[in-house]
Amino acid sequence: MSRRRVAYYYDPDVGAYTFGYNQYLKPHRVKMTHDLVSAYGMLDKMHVLKPARCSAETMTSFHTDEYVQFLSRVTPETFSKLSFDGTRFLVGEDNPPFEGVFEFSAISAGGSIAASQRLNCGAADIAINWAGGLHHAKKAEASGFCYINDIVLGILELLRQVPRVLYIDIDCHHGDGVEEAFYTTDRVMTCSFHKYGAYFPGTGTQEDTGRGLGKGYSVNVPLKDGISDEAFRSVFEPVISKIMEVYRPSAVVLQCGADSLAGDKLGCFNLTMHGHARCVQFLRQQNVPLVLLGGGGYTVKNVARAWTYETACALGIEDTIDPLMPYNEYFDWFAPRFRLEVVSSNMDDLNVLDGSLDDVRQKALEQLSELAAAPSVGMHDVPRDSLGTHLYRARDRGNARDPLDMQLAQHMRYVDDLADSQDDSDSDESTDEEEQPKPARRRPRRMSIVTNEYLEAPTAKRQFFKTGIDIDKLFKVAEEKENVVLG
């Protein structure tokens, strides 16, 4: 197997954060992975780098200003007031306002952006950020333990240099946040292999194929409980091979969510570590620049095992590492079997029992066959400065903005959002008249990633107009109260 230049991004502080005692996502799983990778001696075979943390301004290349500002200021004490009692930005118990939420998100996003930059400058063939892969975060709210969508930010960075990017998601949950971000463009093809049904986030049917220029460039492969290594490979490799043939991506981003492994606390698939890693091996063989990201995974010892083995796959040394684990800081966590393996259980594969897997694979291949050829792109230089500095929404840094300016800018942002929503609905109506397909795609209701039950909460926009509260004023009041408490 030919040698690849691998860049590995890791920030030692990532393991210092916690979502809370009763939360399923444990950031220290990334530190566990790093220690195991180090114990196997892999760090000497890669370029190990500490990424710069993502700035608030860079986050707003995808997320709204209000949401990023909220994340930078929210604390457990100010959460209730800043989020209108949990009806804006952080909805439900899946997305707690833990201490350091902004810093944790900046670490995650900074690693994914740096990985993309590394590929763009040609300094690496494969770039790894196991702290990334938070694919549920939306433009203006958190979802499913994800606050900032590092994947979208990383792909936007890739698009500065390459014409087409393929995003692949093997997390047990649908990659809804990334699909939603690129649903109307042909420059990014999204392909998600996930559980579908009464399961978070409740999206990802095969009828969701994109809109406008993006029609046909969102590929969903909905699966059922218990899928095995052989069954997963029988659908993954044909679909990805067809995408590589038709779309010809210039770079690939693979989200390696480990909740698709057997025995995961929130997952329902039955993949072994080797079956999961086969996706990495297959993409490595394609000789296309590759970004590997983390994602879900709630049985932390298995997450560390899988991502360590997949790091070895990126290096091409998976056949040489010892299945018996070397001693490391978290050695006792891997009891009772101190081996680099995740074995399958005896659960039934419903995809094979009912014969649905063949139909799903065939439908995905038919969708791809309808794409004529890889879309061409006219490349232009993209300025590094925020577009807001060139538009009416922001003034020169030297001029202070008075309260009226801020209120007008805030109002115009919401007017723009409403206009965009109206344009989408108008385009849906015209499409229905001409092609008469299925009803227009609507934003799904919020669902809990833990209970898989729908949440009853008003949308952020409705709540804003209902209360009429100036969010900038609210931030100021909260800050004053926080200073009094700390003082």
β strands within 245-303, DSSP E: 251-255, 290-293
Question: Which of the 8 DSSP states describes residue 441?
Answer: P
Query: CB of 262 within 8 A of CB of 343?
Result: yes
In DSSP terms, which residues pair with 168 in a beta bridge? Answer: 191, 254
* Tokens encoding 298: 């709630």
Q: Report whether 94 belongs to an annotated binding site.
A: yes
DSSP per-residue codes, 446-473: PB-TTT--B-----HHHHHHHH---HHH
Per residue in 64-83, is it b (16+ CB within 10 Å) or e — as a string? bbbbbbbbeebeeebbeebb
Catalytic (active site) residue 47: no
Q: Is 144 annotated as a binding residue?
A: yes
d(CA 308, CA 311): 5
Q: Is 171 annotated as a binding residue?
A: yes
Strand, helix or coil at 166?
Answer: strand
Is 309 annotated as contributing to ligand binding?
Answer: no
**CA distance linking residue 312 with residue 272, whole number of Å:** 16
Token pair recorded at residue 264: 């995961």
Phi–psi pair at 83, nearest 5 degrees: -105, 10
* Cα–Cα dist 329/332, whole Å: 8
Q: Are 145 and 306 in contact (CB under 8 A)?
A: no
Which residues does residue 129 pair with via DSSP β-bridges, in sequence order? 293
- Which of 63, 135, 136, 174 is flagged as catalytic? 136
Q: Please identify every residue annotated as catalytic.
A: 136
- Tell me the binding residues for substrate: 94, 144, 298
Known binding residues are 94, 144, 171, 173, 259, 298
